[in-house]
Amino acid sequence: MRLVFLGPPGAGKGTQAARVARHLGIPHIATGDIFRQAVEAGTPIGLRVKEVMDHGELVSDEMTNEVVRERMALDDTENGFVLDGYPRNVEQALAFEENLKELGVKLDKVIKFMVNGPAIVQRLSGRRICPLCKTVYHFVTHPPQYDEVCDNDGTRLVKREDDQPETVERRLEVYGKLTKPLYDFYDERGLLHQVDALGTTNQVFERLIGIIQDDH
């Protein structure tokens, strides 16, 4: 099963992608992990990515496509994958389509996580992170044992700038403009499905499994 999860920041894609991947026995592939693995492995493209990131610059579409192509060629993707965080635009989607064609495989489904703006603002504004160990907490869904401090090391938790309500709203606006053509791209190919991403983690997971197992 070859799946792509799409949705705005805070929609829960990463959490569900990891869980679905474990359920299906296939790898969960996230672009952040791919970049880190390529850098750690010291591959030629990984070294180029490291140089860009060290300068605080954004990794280009071309470089992102190349890193994904390298990751897709590994043996563990033979039976499928759950990909989240890529593609981010139509140009990347076209490159990914060519990549899969070269490998002789096709996507099975692209699942769009449906969640409204106010819910995302509420989700992300309740999120805190440990600056030391990077563990992410949420005051509703995953609160720390003791208020405002990390369970692992007792460090005071902080709210990331990206999770401020005003910043979240701007990110959502930018995301909507950039990704509508991407949704249209996959819809035209008959691959796009939608999942209601509101509710508990278990409820969303059950909906996803229903979509994945549906033959249509």
Catalytic residue among 160, 170, 180, 189: 160
Marked catalytic residue, from 36, 69, 171, 207: 171
| Among 36, 50, 69, 88, the one annotated catalytic | 88
Does residue 48 carry a catalytic annotation?
no
Q: With contact defined as beta carbons under 8 Å apart, do 162 and 168 qualify? A: yes
For residue 128, indicate whether it is catalytic: no
**Rounded Cα distance, 26 and 4, in Å:** 13
Cα–Cα distances in angstroms (integers) from residue 175 to residues 57, 118, 136, 185, in the given order: 19, 15, 22, 16
Measured distance CA(203)–CA(157) in Å, rounded: 28
13 is known as an active-site residue: yes
DSSP state of 149: B
Contact (CB, 8 A) for 4 and 87:
yes
177 a catalytic residue:
no
**Residues 93 and 184 sit within 8 Å (Cβ to Cβ):** no
Question: How deeply is 106 buried, as exposed, middle or buried, from its count of CB atoms within 10 A (0-12, 13-18, 19+)?
Answer: exposed
Q: Say how far residue 139 (Cα) sits from the centre of its chain.
A: 22
Task: Clarify whether 88 is annotated catalytic.
Answer: yes
Which residues have a catalytic role annotated?
13, 88, 127, 160, 171
